[in-house]
């Protein structure tokens, strides 16, 4: 009988899905991915997770609950790091425990430790992942090699797809599991498209370019997603053809409290590109979210027509030079 492996459609699934799915299929498992996020999945996850966890972790537990009775194994890797001397959120290092101590009667876990900062450990990690399904080491290695090709193809298909200086475009920033989960981000990309704006995410930019810009930052880059977002931010500061930046963050995310703040400060200090931070949690209502989005778009349109691109950050609005004291906003 074919072994069924469940993969929760949450957190780093949005980064590594092509690799994980292809790998487990090729070693001979049947892969079951949980449904797209919805209200029921989030509500269940919220009930089973400690209150002060961030919404992506609550949602992850909701996806685990969805799969729990449908599979033989749940793939919940322990990801320790991706780049040398850079850290990943501790929730990823302790994810198997977060799940295990939240939800009872789970199927067996494939909780392989994956540390991409040490390439020597990668082969052991792959062999460990595959050993739950087959004892054939050659098959495991070949499945991994194929999966890596699929992953790289997927990543390059996302690059430079839409960037065009002529278009009206908005950079959307945030962690991939927020940016690409339509339920969590309340379909922000589709909504912005309906207003005539194309959306660029840090994943659409060339990795080498992002790294080059990130490396020019004088401070230490401690966090994995900080590199991607900071590099993208510095890129757009220099190539000023974005109409606005929207950062979607999760309430209670310690990493975003630093990353979003740094991005906002750099943009406000060095550009007049409008910036909006949207913080979401399980209580966020779509009506409120839409209102803020519409207000942001209205402001973009309004400043194009009426304000000659005066900074929206307040520095110039009441200055003598602009002579618009008394204008109400
Ligand atoms: S980085 Fe932030 S949003 Fe992501 S899992 Fe960690 S605390 Fe949650």
CATH number, domain 169-305: 3.40.50.11900
Q: State whether the beta carbon of 57 lies less than 6 angstroms from ligand 1.
A: yes
Please indicate whether residue 59, judged by its CB atom, sits closer than 6 Å to ligand 1.
Answer: no
- Reply yes or no on whether the pLDDT at 321 is more than 70: no
Distance from the alpha carbon of residue 255 to the mean position of ligand 1, in angstroms = 7
Going from N- to C-terminal start, the domains of the chain cover 4-148, 169-305
Report the share of the chain in percent with pLDDT over 70. 90
The answer on pLDDT for 159 being more than 60 is yes
| 4-148 carries CATH number 3.40.50 | yes
Q: Is the CB of 255 under 6 A from ligand 1?
A: yes
Q: Residue 28 Cα, ligand 1 centroid: separation in angstroms?
A: 32
Beta bridge partners of 113: 78
Best residue among 248, 255, 280, 282 to mutate for probing ligand 1's pocket (most ligand atoms within 8 Å of CB) is: 255
4-148 and 169-305 in the same fold = yes
Indicate if ligand 1 lies below 6 Å from the C-beta of 58: no
Q: What is the mean pLDDT of residues 171-180?
A: 95
Q: Is the pTM of this model over 0.85?
A: yes
pLDDT band at 302 (very low <50, low <70, confident <90, very high): confident
For the chain, the first-to-last Cα distance in angstroms comes to: 66
The answer on pLDDT for 323 being more than 60 is: no
CA 168 / ligand 1 centre spacing (Å): 30
CA of 173 to the centre of ligand 1 (A): 14
Interval between CA 9 and ligand 1 midpoint (Å) = 15
| pLDDT score at 325 | 39
User: Does the CB atom of residue 54 touch ligand 1 within 6 A?
Assistant: yes
Residue 318 has pLDDT above 60, yes or no: no
Q: Rounded to 10 degrees, what is the CA torsion of 266, 193, 19, 227?
A: 0
* HEC sequence for the chain: CCCEEEECCCCCHHHHHHHHHHHHHHCCCEEEECCCCCHHHHHHHHHHCCCCCCHHHHHHHHHHHHHCCCCCEEECCEEEECCCCCECCHHHHCHHHHHHCCCCCCCEEECCEEECCCHHHHHHHHHHHHHCCCCCHHHHHHHHHHHHHHHHHHHHHCCCCCCCCCCCEEEEECCHHHHCCCCCCCCHHHHHHHCCCEEECHHHCCHHHHHHHHHCCCCCCCEHHHHHHHHHHHHHHHCCCCCEEEEEEECCCHHHHHHHHHHHHHHHHHCCCCEEEEEECCCCCHHHHHHHHHHHHHHHHHHHHCCCCCCCCCCCCCCCCCCCCCCCC
Pocket flag, ligand 1, residue 201 (CB < 6 Å): no
């Amino acid at each position: 009988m074919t072994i069924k492996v469940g993969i929760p459609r949450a957190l780093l699934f949005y980064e590594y899905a092509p690799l994980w799915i292809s790998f487990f299929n090729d070693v001979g498992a049947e892969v079951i991915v949980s449904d797209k996020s919805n209200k029921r999945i989030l509500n269940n996850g919220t009930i089973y997770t400690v209150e002060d966890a961030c919404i992506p972790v609550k949602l992850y537990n909701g996806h685990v609950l969805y799969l729990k009775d449908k599979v033989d194994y749940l793939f919940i890797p322990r990801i320790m790091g991706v780049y040398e001397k850079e850290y990943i959120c501790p929730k990823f290092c302790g994810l198997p425990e977060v799940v295990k101590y939240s939800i009872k009667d789970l199927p067996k876990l494939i909780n392989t430790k994956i540390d991409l900062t040490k390439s020597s450990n990668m082969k052991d990690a792959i062999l460990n992942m595959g050993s739950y399904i087959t004892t054939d080491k050659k098959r495991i290695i070949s499945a991994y090699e194929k999966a890596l090709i699929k992953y790289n193809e997927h990543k390059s298909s996302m690059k430079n797809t839409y960037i065009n200086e002529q278009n009206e475009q908005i950079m959307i920033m945030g962690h991939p599991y927020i940016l690409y989960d339509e339920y969590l981000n309340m379909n922000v990309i589709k909504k912005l498209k309906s207003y005539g704006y194309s959306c660029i995410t840090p994943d659409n930019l060339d990795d080498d370019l992002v790294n080059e810009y990130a490396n020019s930052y004088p401070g230490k880059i401690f966090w994995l997603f900080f590199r991607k977002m900071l590099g993208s931010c510095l890129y757009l500061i220099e190539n000023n053809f974005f109409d606005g930046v929207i950062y979607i963050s999760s309430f209670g995310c310690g990493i975003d409290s630093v990353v979003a703040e740094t991005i906002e400060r750099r943009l406000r200090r060095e550009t007049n590109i409008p910036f909006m931070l949207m913080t979401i949690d399980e209580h966020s209502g779509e009506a409120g979210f839409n209102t803020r989005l519409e207000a942001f778009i209205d402001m973009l349109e309004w400043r194009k027509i009426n304000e000659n691109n005066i900074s929206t950050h307040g520095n110039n609005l009441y200055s003598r030079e602009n002579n618009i004291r008394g204008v109400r906003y």
